[in-house]
Chain A
């Protein structure tokens, strides 16, 4: 009698050439429709950002670290510049801090809208894919007025920000927020209360509170599992300690609650921006130690246009020796920077732990036991962005 070994489980490679996989490969072992094994295969978009940073000057790294998260660049920019300022021992003037928070929160809204759009197209709702991306255009218009570009603004520099608030920005922003609030009601009618969405997402991909903490996932995924942790409250940076906002938390931990946490955070970010616009103190937007060497012509230009001139120091910035670590709350979660300087114009080591990299731990844990069709639903709800995780 001979025994024949037959493979019972189907191994499905949802690879990089797949409409629903992003820039990564998901290896799923299926028993019929149920997933019994799951393994994300990442690294397709690795661009050696940390290594390249060892060859560039400190100010030149600003556009470099902005590129991995792409949709969410101001927060990463802010984190890196806070680390650099800690090394330099420089504190930005108050108006600059308010402008930093304003840009960061506008970017957070844009990042969440993008995440919701990707989630929606993965479960099939093409309308909910187009609508948040169209509304993101309104925010990109505001950020374009503020910084001059639509993405990767490089807005935050050591010592302050690059441009002040332009004329009429406050009215435009308030109009845009009224429009966005109206649209949030439409999202609710069409997508969030849609019985098909609720059936697809409720109870799917549940992460218990204990598992969420043990796996180390961050951001809205953590807050949707019941842990009210937000770096803006735990270790306030910039002016977050003066601002009044809620940390959105939900208890169920399923894909639907992650979606609702993101929608709630959009509303909270709009509240923060409105507070920043109200409280906006007047004053310089760059630290005065950087303004010392500027010529009178440059100073007149700064007065006239509200745009900062860089000091020549920036092209060869040499912070004192030391190491520093900084945490910020990016759109997708907690972002951690560790910079080691050895007194030369380039850093000795730049370590950047992005939120998507930390959320990767959730994939293996949460997918097993769900069905094949839940893979895009859970992937979209975790808001995993491969370029950010791979750096």
Chain B
């Protein structure tokens, strides 16, 4: 350690920088649950099935990296069902479907009470994920990258 005089200027600059943020900048935190982030188009959330379009090719079940999709026998077709405990939201199933029968929703709330609720049969898969509980008075915000503040929410 240097025995000389302490570097007062550097100390002052550090404190000044901290003071600048103490007095000026707003917070980057989104005050969830009073404000809810609006997710952009194409966000990889939970998946929804379109039963009429599905041609039972089973490609989605084959490509799934964590074996979350399994086919169930329904009348004359086999329809996919999904196990959300295993789903890693990679989106391979949506991208490989040759008839575009699977699509992303913007729901990613993955908390259920019991394990059987995680296993979505084709009927539940077609209905889509249950909409999340949103408290009254919640406002939706969208992030926008801002040069000075990093994020602006509106």
Asked if B65 and A194 sit within 8 Å, CB to CB, the answer is no
Residue of A with least CB distance to B61: A315
Contact A314 B42 (CB under 8 A): no
Please choose the segment from B73-81, B89-97, B123-131, B132-140 that sits at the chain A interface, where 4 or more of its residues have CB less than 8 A away: B89-97
**In the bound complex, what is the Cα–Cα distance between A175 and B96 (angstroms)?**
34
Q: Is the C-beta of A60 less than 8 angstroms from some C-beta in chain B?
A: yes
With A60-B63, A199-B1, A312-B59 already in contact, the answer to whether A175 and B146 are too (CB < 8 A) is yes
B151 at the binding interface (Cβ < 8 Å): yes
A61–B143 alpha-carbon span in the complex (Å): 33
Q: How far is the CB of A84 from chain B (nearest CB, A)?
A: 15
B6 at the interface (CB under 8 A from A): yes
Segment at the B interface, from A275-283, A301-309, A382-390 = A301-309
Assess the B65–A144 pair: CB atoms within 8 A: no
Contact of B28 among A56, A137, A310 (CB under 8 A): A137
A141: contacting residue among B1, B64, B89, B143, CB under 8 A: B143
Q: Is the CB of B63 within 8 A of A148?
A: no
Q: Does B98 contact A (CB under 8 A)?
A: yes
A183 to B21 CA separation, bound complex (whole angstroms): 12
Report how many residues on chain B are interfacial, defined by Cβ distance under 8 Å. Answer: 42
Chain B residues, CB < 8 A from A163: 42
Interfacial chain A residues near B150, Cβ < 8 Å: 134-135, 137-138, 179, 183
CB < 8 Å neighbour of B147 from A145, A175, A307 = A175
The distance from the CB of A197 to the nearest CB of chain B, in whole angstroms, is 9
- Contact at B63–A179, with CB atoms within 8 Å? no
Measured between alpha carbons, how far is A57 from B28 in the docked complex, in Å? 41
Bound-state CA distance A186–B89 (Å) is: 36
Question: Which of A138, A178, A193 lies in contact with B10, CB distance below 8 A?
Answer: A193
Please tell me if the beta carbons of A189 and B65 are within 8 angstroms of each other in the complex. Answer: no
Tell whether A59 pairs with B14 under 8 Å between CB atoms, given A179-B150, A298-B100, A308-B95.
Answer: no
For A147, list chain B residues within 8 Å (CB).
Answer: 44
Q: Are the C-beta atoms of A298 and B98 separated by less than 8 Å?
A: yes
Residue of A145, A172, A182, A190 with highest tally of chain B CB at under 10 A = A190
Judge whether B63 and A190 touch: CB under 8 Å: no
Contact A63 B88 (CB under 8 A): yes
Neighbouring A residues of B146 by C-beta, 8 Å = 175, 179
Q: Say whether, besides A186-B17, A189-B17, A301-B100, A141 and B145 are in contact (CB < 8 Å).
A: yes
- Shortest beta-carbon distance from B100 to chain A in Å: 6
We find that the number of chain A residues with CB closer than 8 angstroms to chain B is 54
B99 at the interface (CB under 8 A from A): yes
Contact A309 B14 (CB under 8 A): no
> Does A154 have its Cβ within 8 Å of any Cβ on chain B?
yes
Q: Is B31 part of the binding interface, using a Cβ–Cβ cutoff of 8 Å?
A: no
Give A110 to B17 CA distance when docked, in angstroms: 23
Q: Is there a chain B Cβ closer than 8 Å to A176's Cβ?
A: yes
Compute how far the CA of A189 lies from the CA of B18 in the bound complex, rounded to whole angstroms. Answer: 9
- Chain B CB within 8 A of A243 CB: no
Interface residues of B in 52-83 (CB under 8 A from A): 57, 59, 62-66
| Also in contact, A148 and B43, with CB within 8 A (given A63-B90, A138-B145, A301-B100) | yes
CB distance from A160 to the nearest CB of B (A): 12
A164-196: CB near B (< 8 Å → 1, else 0) gives 001000001001101100110010011101110
Residues of A295-331 contacting chain B, CB below 8 A: 295, 297-298, 301, 305, 307-310, 312, 314-316
List, in ascending order, chain B residues with CB within 8 A of A56's CB. 65
Structural contact, B96 and A137, CB atoms closer than 8 A? no
Instruction: Give the residue name and chain of the A residue nearest to B95 (CB).
Output: A310
| Min C-beta distance of B50 to chain A, whole Å | 13
Determine if B147 and A178 form an interchain contact, defined as CB atoms under 8 angstroms apart: yes
The docked-state distance in angstroms from the alpha carbon of A297 to that of B28 is 42
- CA of A50 to CA of B98, assembled, Å: 31
* B11-68 at interface with A (beta carbon < 8 Å): 11, 13-14, 16-18, 21, 28, 40, 42-44, 57, 59, 62-66
Q: Report B-chain residues with C-beta under 8 Å of the C-beta of A178.
A: 147
Name 7 extra pairs, CB < 8 A, besides A148-B43, A154-B91.
A57-B63, A138-B150, A172-B145, A175-B146, A179-B146, A199-B1, A297-B100
Interface residues, chain A, CB within 8 Å of chain B? 56-57, 59-64, 127, 134-135, 137-138, 141-142, 144-145, 147-149, 152, 154, 162-163, 166, 172, 175-176, 178-179, 182-183, 186, 189-191, 193-195, 199, 294-295, 297-298, 301, 305, 307-310, 312, 314-316
* Chain B residues engaging chain A, CB cutoff 8 angstroms: 1, 6-7, 10-11, 13-14, 16-18, 21, 28, 40, 42-44, 57, 59, 62-66, 88-92, 95-96, 98-100, 104, 143, 145-151
